[in-house]
Chains A and B, each alone.
Chain A
């Protein structure tokens, strides 16, 4: 999938660890790890909202679209 989650980049910028973020956002460490390692299939708006609030950033700072190789846009 072409959507990449740059959570680790934002976490490094804000100098915040996974455990601390997990406490602030209110989701489990395991789920946050799934999100950080790009293994999540979908992200709830409520989760995104909590992460953006905790890291003081925009959704665009966390989510990035990178086109897959060989993927063509069809009309």
Chain B
């Protein structure tokens, strides 16, 4: 099975990311109704507001991270794996995850749930991992440029 290229797994991944982004938009728009339907909280309830803020913020940040992922996969499909753009996207995604982690870290104080602490740790680790990957891609891009300019 081909992994990278127009008819490879990465092309499927690009389409899947588009679909996922569309689903996130639909879920975001449906939040005011879905919160009531799933949790039973109605508008005006303090928990309703908390759920709305947390989920809406998470949704927006997820959309931003997915956008960067889609850009990276698009670069890969175009045959430009090690580029400055991929490095930038990895860094931006890392920062977005860190910001999301910071938000979950802050919510732990006004919504003391184990789940929030778990997400905080997951997003911090995810952000750190992406930062390291960005550095790896930066070095790979540097080696590639060096190799391209070796005649």
**Taking beta carbons and an 8 Å cutoff, which residues of A are in contact with B?**
27, 31-32, 34-35, 39-44, 47
Contacts and interface: CB of A to CB of B under 8 A. Distances in A.
Contact of B149 (A27, A32, A42): A42
A43 B149 contact: no
Interface of B: 146, 149-151
Nearest to A28: B151
A35 B151 CA distance: 7
A12 B151 CA distance: 21
A42 to B, nearest CB: 4
B141 to A, nearest CB: 14
B147 to A, nearest CB: 9
A42 B149 CA distance: 7
| 8 nearest A-B pairs in the assembled complex, by CB-CB distance | A41-B149, A42-B150, A40-B151, A35-B151, A31-B151, A47-B151, A40-B149, A43-B151
A42 B151 CA distance: 6
Contacts of B146: 41-42
A47 B149 CA distance: 13
B139 to A, nearest CB: 16
Nearest to B149: A41
Contacts of A40: 149-151
Given A27-B151, A31-B151, A42-B146, 10 more contacts: A32-B151, A40-B149, A40-B150, A40-B151, A41-B149, A43-B150, A43-B151, A44-B150, A44-B151, A47-B151
A23 to B, nearest CB: 16
A39 B149 contact: yes
Nearest to A43: B151
B35 to A, nearest CB: 57
Contacts of A41: 146, 149-150
Nearest to B146: A41
A41 B144 CA distance: 12
22 contacts: A27-B151, A31-B151, A32-B151, A34-B149, A34-B151, A35-B151, A39-B149, A40-B149, A40-B150, A40-B151, A41-B146, A41-B149, A41-B150, A42-B146, A42-B149, A42-B150, A42-B151, A43-B150, A43-B151, A44-B150, A44-B151, A47-B151
